[in-house]
Copies of this chain bind each other. A is one copy, B any other.
Amino acid sequence: MNGSVSSTTDPGSGARRRSAATRDAILTAARERFATDGYERATIRAIAKDANIDPSMVMRYYGNKEGLFAAAVSVDLQLPDLAALPRDDIGRALVTHFLSVWEENEVLTALLRVGVTNQAGAERTQGVFRDQVLPVARQVCPDPEQIPARAALVATQLLGLALTRYVLRFPPTVALHRDEIVAWLAPTLQRYLTAPSP
């Protein structure tokens, strides 16, 4: 899978680098397992097997299962700067960005799956919302008091989409084309963020 650890072309040293390589292999395997199996069913043994090493190596490098999860799942939504956009485009921009990030990064599925059954996972999900979604809402909301509520509404719609499309896999939701999703959801988010409160 990874390879090229061979000591032939090493400017540095063999064993020194190997640890970094296997550490990465462990993290990659862990992300995959957490994303598809959730926290409880993603066993350290299975992750180690995917990474082609002994389970004890996982413990050596990450302490315990919680530490492995903490190290493997770190989310950066890379949300765009909404203040720089035309005010009427932020809904559309959010949906398209959200779809792209989610589809190219299995970490988000992992975080969602784990957050549902694991307390630490839920808190970590809350952290992503608090540290990355709320600030963006702050950029476009005039009334500071309404920011949490409006950001929360955005989260319900976007996470609901991810849940039914990428986790529960409702056939009609999976069948939706990207353009359809954008066309339907953009006005919703636009309203949640910019419309006067009802």
A-to-B contact residues, CB < 8 Å = 37-38, 40-41, 112-113, 115-117, 122, 125-126, 129, 148-149, 151-153, 155-161, 163-165, 167-173, 175-176, 180, 183-185, 187-188, 191-192, 197-198
Contact = CB atoms under 8 A, between A and B. Distances in A.
Contact of A164 (B152, B165, B185, B187): B152
Give me the 8 closest cross-chain CB pairs, A-B, nearest first.
A160-B160, A148-B172, A38-B117, A152-B172, A40-B40, A156-B160, A183-B198, A152-B173
Contacts of A149: 172, 175-176, 180
Interface residues of A, dominant DSSP: helix
A192 to B, nearest CB: 7
